[in-house]
Amino acid sequence: MRIDIIGAGSLGLLLAGGLTRAGSRVRLWCRSEEQCAALSESGITISYEDGRQPIRISGSDIEAVPVGRFPQAYPRSPGDWLVLTVKQGPLRHRLPELLAPLRESELNLLCLQNGWGHMELLRELLPAAHLYAAVTTEGAKRESPVRVVHAGKGQTFIGLWGESGTERNTTAATAAQLTDALALAGFSAAMSNQVETMIFRKLLINAVINPLTAVWRIPNGELLSSSLRMSMMRELYEEAVSVYDACGIACESSLWEDILEVCRATAGNLSSMLADVLASRETEIGWINGSLVELAERSGVEVPAHRWIIRMVEGMTVKER
């Protein structure tokens, strides 16, 4: 089994480094030639926040290829995996062209994106593929093109996306090979038929925590430090719950508690959106709160707080003319 990972950001580096170290055959597709050269020279270094010694996977063991070469250079056999760790922006803008030659292929594709709507897009692009969606709480922070911090051990749940019962049985064995490889690399991964619910759960948690931490430039735990902050969180939460109710999306009543728990458990961490703002990168606001607004429009629910926060975050990352 070969695992091709598209996207050498924090999660891509963490998975590529960990899987390669555990003996999987991995190839990492990067946006730039420079990053490929840096990875071939320096390898991948994974460090930890709990005081464990960093590990380094040597450059000679890392196969890094510029993603521009993907359509010509991507070979596939039935048990292989393509893993997408790019954000939704590049997924929507760049991947349609890259994946076009694979339209008829029955490849196995695993997606690890925040937000919602990308699986539907991938299904349109790759009608014959075995698509899997994943939700992960694995914490990863990219420090440089070759260095990543494993900022918190999490769990990854993987679910087959929209296939019939008989197909499910034949693909289960292939999926088990991937979860086994991830487990060997020290990642806790399991199959689940609840992944869609988990995606919506994570979407709501991200839609509350991420933009507020980005606007106020605070670590996650500080959201709990004042009643004003908590009331803004509550507003975003309640609007999102009305949208889910109107769309018939099952939503556990404990989700508010879950949001508070994530703030406590990741108290010192910067959310991915704040990290993007600080690094002047495009944020995922459009795919997170934007997805909620899209669902709200479909169901006729008003979401003024989400619309407002989207404009705030977008305003922070506008480039000067």
Cα–Cα distance measured from residue 258 to residue 252, given in angstroms and rounded to the nearest whole number: 10
- Site size for ligand KPL (CB under 6 A): 9
Of 37 and 316, nearer to ligand KPL (C-beta) is 316
Query: Minimal distance in Å, beta carbon 239 to ligand KPL?
Result: 17
Query: Minimal distance in Å, beta carbon 202 to ligand KPL?
Result: 7
* C-alpha distances in Å from residue 219, one per residue of 30, 59, 155, 285: 29, 34, 22, 17
Which of 2, 51, 46, 48 minimizes the C-alpha distance to 27?
A: 2
Task: Let me know: does 21 contact 44? Beta carbons within 8 Å.
Answer: no
Backbone angles phi, psi at 78, to 5 degrees: -55, -35
Query: Minimal distance in Å, beta carbon 271 to ligand KPL?
Result: 4
Of 102 and 275, nearer to ligand KPL (C-beta) is 275
β-bridge mates for residue 133, sequence order: 111, 159
Query: Minimal distance in Å, beta carbon 269 to ligand KPL?
Result: 6
CA angle at residue 22 from 21 to 24, to 5 degrees? 95
Task: Scan residues 250-279 and list those touching ligand KPL (CB under 6 A).
Answer: 262, 266, 271-272
Interaxial angle between packed helices 255-265 and 195-216, expressed in degrees from 0 to 180 and rounded to the nearest 10: 60
Among 113, 210, 289, 291, binds ligand KPL (CB under 6 A): 210
Query: Minimal distance in Å, beta carbon 266 to ligand KPL?
Result: 5
Query: Minimal distance in Å, beta carbon 237 to ligand KPL?
Result: 12
Of 205 and 301, nearer to ligand KPL (C-beta) is 205
* 3 state SS of 71: helix
Of 210 and 289, nearer to ligand KPL (C-beta) is 210
Query: Minimal distance in Å, beta carbon 293 to ligand KPL?
Result: 18
Bridge pairing between strands 2-6 and 25-30: parallel
Task: Let me know: does 44 contact 13? Beta carbons within 8 Å.
Answer: yes
Query: Minimal distance in Å, beta carbon 270 to ligand KPL?
Result: 8
Of 113 and 271, nearer to ligand KPL (C-beta) is 271
Of 131 and 207, nearer to ligand KPL (C-beta) is 207
Q: Does 113 bind ligand KPL (CB under 6 A)?
A: no
Among 156, 220, 289, 291, binds ligand KPL (CB under 6 A): 220
Which of 209, 268, 254 minimizes the C-alpha distance to 233?
A: 209
Of 209 and 255, nearer to ligand KPL (C-beta) is 209
Which residue type does 159 have?
A: G
Cα–Cα distance measured from residue 305 to residue 285, given in angstroms and rounded to the nearest whole number: 13
Helices (H), ranges, 56-117: 70-73, 88-93, 95-99
Of 96 and 268, nearer to ligand KPL (C-beta) is 268
Query: Minimal distance in Å, beta carbon 206 to ligand KPL?
Result: 4
The DSSP letter of residue 105 is: -
Task: Scan residues 168-207 and list those touching ligand KPL (CB under 6 A).
Answer: 205-206
The site map against ligand KPL for 9-48 (x = CB under 6 A) is: ----------------------------------------
Which of 302, 293, 303, 308 minimizes the C-alpha distance to 116?
A: 293
Q: Does 209 bind ligand KPL (CB under 6 A)?
A: yes
Task: Let me know: does 136 contact 106? Beta carbons within 8 Å.
Answer: no
Q: Which residues contact 104 (CB under 8 A, 6 or more apart)?
A: 128
Of 122 and 274, nearer to ligand KPL (C-beta) is 274
Binding stretches for ligand KPL (CB under 6 A): 205-206, 209-210, 220, 262, 266, 271-272
